[in-house]
Amino acid sequence: MSLPSTNTRAGTPYSEALTLRAREEEGAGNTGLRRFPFRLCVGLSLLLIIFVYFDFSEILRKLTSLEWPFVAMALGILSLQFAVSVFRWLYILKRQAAGIGQYEAFSIYGFGALANLFLVTSIAGISVRAALLVRSGSSISAALASVTAERIAAIAGLAMCGLFGLAFAFPSVRDYLAAAQTKPSPYFDFAIIGMLAVVVVCVLVSFRFAVVGKFAKQVLSVFSSPVPGIILILASCCIIFLGFAGLAVLAAGMGLEVEPVFFLAVMPAIAFVSALPISIGGWGVREGAMVAGLSMFSIPPESAVALSITFGLAGLFVAALLGGSAVLLGMYCRSQSAVTEKGTGIDAGGR
């Protein structure tokens, strides 16, 4: 098979191929831009339906009834959650031997956190981090392997938290069978559906990346021994439970009496649904899922919406503050490093 000619003059087959490829890439970019308004409309439409269908004045009353000491406590918990997330990210990059400095990696994570706030949920943060890793000198396969390993650890941690919660929901199989024969438990069914969805995603991800060769080896290198895998899964479980703890504090600040089994058994499924890339920052989807989940525990829908909005705003504040700080810190360290290297070069030239 002959190679294409290197002649780049207009009208040659090679130039036509380049033009066709450029048009395809431009079309792919335009397709991504067209999907963004669609996902934005999905979230805004769900929020609009919620506000129109439910009593907006009651939602506003619940929002204003929140006590500030509980807000401060929830923000502290969510800040700790952000710190553990950064630790997991740095640990994965260390396992990948990406050669990225600590401050640079911190800055990349901050960019991803900011992208998740204002762009498509989950996908935006993954794409931004992978692109910045490549820009910082990492190979494309290593960058994709790093963000993939982080998602696998997050999904595994979410599944572990859900299974742990189900153990508290039903202490024994006999209790579950007795409850199933007498009166079905809707929150158990809801949690089971969520956990099955998580398992299906894990299987699909594992199957897809098992045939990629070098890329799969780089992903598996993060979990090459039991200790790193345990550390990452425990960190993911800690991240999830800290998020649930922040939500529980906000619920207490609103005067809502939510049973602990909701945070243990139902909230993992809600978190999974909210993370699907069908909205912007999870808005709209999270509120609908919270209404459905809390209705099983006799919580009014207006209170559920108010709690979800408060939780979303608290997460947005923490991610914007700490993510923006991480970005600024990374930019400052890069500028200082450039000044130092320039000064070293001048000194060497003077000698």
Q: For residue 24, what pLDDT band results from cuts at 50, 70 and 90?
A: very low
Instruction: State CA 244 to chain mean position distance.
Output: 15
Q: Up-side HSE of residue 332: CA atoms within 13 Å toward CB?
A: 7
Please tell me which residue, 125 or 50, carries the higher pLDDT value.
125
Q: Which residues pair with 280 in a beta bridge?
A: 120
Of 69-73, 199-203, 313-317, 333-337, the least confident: 199-203
Sorted by sequence, the CB contacts under 8 Å of residue 2 that are 6+ apart come out as none
CB 205 within 8 A of CB 152: yes
CA dihedral angle for residue 129, residue 131, residue 136, residue 141, rounded to 10 degrees: 100
Q: Which whole number is the average pLDDT over 83-102? A: 86
Out of 10-24, 36-50, 273-287, pick the least confident. Answer: 10-24
Does residue 101 or residue 107 have the better pLDDT?
Answer: 107
State residue 87's pLDDT score: 94
Is-contact 114 327, C-beta < 8 A? yes
Residues 258-269, mean pLDDT to the nearest whole number: 86
pLDDT at 166 over 60: yes
Cβ atoms of 83 and 90 within 8 Å: the answer is no
Q: What is the pTM of this model?
A: 0.74
pLDDT at residue 273 is higher than 80? yes
